[in-house]
Amino acid sequence: MRLAAVFLTTVLAAQEKPPEKITLPTAEADLARGKALYLGSCTYCHGPTGDGGKGANLARPELARAKTDGDLVRIIETGIPGTEMPGAWHMVRRELLQTAAFVRTLGKVEVTPVPGDAARGKALYDKHGCATCHTVKQGNAFAGGLMGPDLSAIGLRRSAAHLRESLVNPGASLPEDFVNTVVILKSGKTVSGRRLGEDTFSVLLRDAAGNNHVFSRSGVREVKRIRGESPMPSYQDKLSASELDDLICHLASLKEAQ
Ligand code: HEC
Ligand code: HEC
């Protein structure tokens, strides 16, 4: 409950800000400072040229969630609640504007389309049973399993390179909130699954069947995180090179923001 309350407060706080009209700096010195700030705080997820990795691809002429400069500055400042995109609370106003100005320069590139055929990729998605573990939004309905992350907007969230890695070597780049966790209770019972949240009083876990468990800290002996291991099978040997391209092309086309 505490976790839900904290999450809700963050969402409400983010929505309360009125839209703002903003002019980004264009001077060379500001862009150079923006670049240094970007390299320090953002490359870990977005890559030095913005073409993604764990983070969204920023090397595009238009950013889905940051269409206006005002949106861009706000996203950098407060992050995107409920995702891995953190807020740069450590930056002062001027630094936020400089970073945003540099991010806009990353978008001045020619976009290389993801090779492959999205329709064939969709058929492969169905054929290989991805939906047993993943949900994709279809119109107003969500269809699919709950064990893996929701893929409705995976094309916005992740670069093609990250998608490829997820399929070929799932353990290599686990999403932060997807670390396999084992809770060992004082009674000796163990439950494993995906960690949904943790605070001073409780641990929240979702098991492979999609059931949520809340454990009170007082009953927990140990919480173990198993990094580098994914419950998702590798598709390296199950898909040919061109099938892999098709599937990545399909995933890259999923952009249903919620
Ligand atoms: C811990 C990883 C991480 C870090 C660090 C990070 N980001 Fe992100 N960022 C993400 C992820 C993941 C998303 C996609 C969120 C979503 O839409 O689900 C994202 C989304 C964005 C978006 C929205 C993109 C769009 O398509 O509209 C912008 C802009 C952005 N980040 C800029 C930045 C900047 C600038 C920094 C550094 C100050 C930064 N990010 C640091 C992970 C990160
Ligand atoms: C047995 C359940 C299971 C099946 C089947 C499965 N996945 Fe996954 N998938 C997961 C889990 C759990 C994760 C999160 C951990 C990870 O990244 O490996 C994940 C992660 C992913 C990610 C990365 C998500 C992110 O935010 O980085 C993508 C993309 C993905 N799966 C696509 C697929 C596709 C496409 C298929 C079918 C070819 C598939 N999965 C089949 C369980 C599954």
Residues 247 and 167 in one domain: yes
**Domain limits at 88?**
2-106
Nearest residue to 51 via CA among 160, 170, 165, 172: 160
What pLDDT is attached to residue 174? 72
Q: Tell me: pLDDT of 176 over 90.
A: no
CA of 179 to the centre of ligand 2 (A): 13
Asked, for residue 257, whether it belongs to a domain, the answer is no
Q: How many domains does the chain fold into?
A: 3
Q: Are residues 95 and 52 in the same domain?
A: yes
Does residue 101 sit within a domain?
Answer: yes
* Residue 132 near ligand 2, beta carbon < 6 Å: yes
pLDDT at 87 over 60: yes
pLDDT tens digit string along 195-212?
777 777 888 888 877 778
Residue 22 token pair: 């903003």
252 lines ligand 2 (CB under 6 A): no
16 in any annotated domain: yes
Note whether 204 and 216 are within 8 A (CB). Answer: no
Kindly state the average pLDDT of the residues 102-112. 81
Confidence of residue 177 (pLDDT cuts 50, 70, 90): low
The span from the first CA to the last CA of the chain, in angstroms, equals 22
What is the tens place of the pLDDT at every residue in 110-138? 666 788 999 999 999 999 999 988 999 87
Dihedrals φ, ψ of 68, to 5°?
Answer: -100, 160
State the average pLDDT for the chain: 84
Rounded to whole angstroms, how far apart are CA atoms 207 and 185?
15
Q: Which atom belonging to ligand 1 lies closest to the Cα atom of 65?
A: 27
Q: Residue 140 class from Cβ within 10 Å (0-12 exposed, 13-18 middle, 19+ buried)?
A: exposed
Query: How would you class 256 by CB atoms within 10 Å of its CB: exposed for 0-12, middle for 13-18, buried for 19 or more?
Result: middle
Q: Clarify whether residues 90 and 153 are in a common domain.
A: no
Task: Point out the ligand 2 atom lying closest to the alpha carbon of residue 247.
Answer: 35
What amino acid is encoded at 179 in this protein? Answer: V
Whether residue 6 has pLDDT greater than 80: no
Angle at 53 between CA 50 and CA 54, to 5 degrees: 115
In this prediction the pTM is 0.67
Q: Backbone phi, then psi, for 193, in 5-degree steps?
A: 165, -155
Q: Does the residue 122 lie in any domain?
A: yes
Which of 232, 244, 246, 250 has the most ligand 2 atoms within 8 A of CB, as the residue to mutate?
232
Q: What is the pLDDT of residue 1?
A: 45
pLDDT at position 18 over 50? yes
What mean pLDDT is predicted for residues 164-186?
82
Please tell me whether residues 165 and 248 are part of one structural domain.
Answer: yes
In this predicted model, what pLDDT tens digit does every residue of 31-67 receive, in sequence order?
Answer: 999 999 999 999 888 888 887 778 888 988 789 899 9
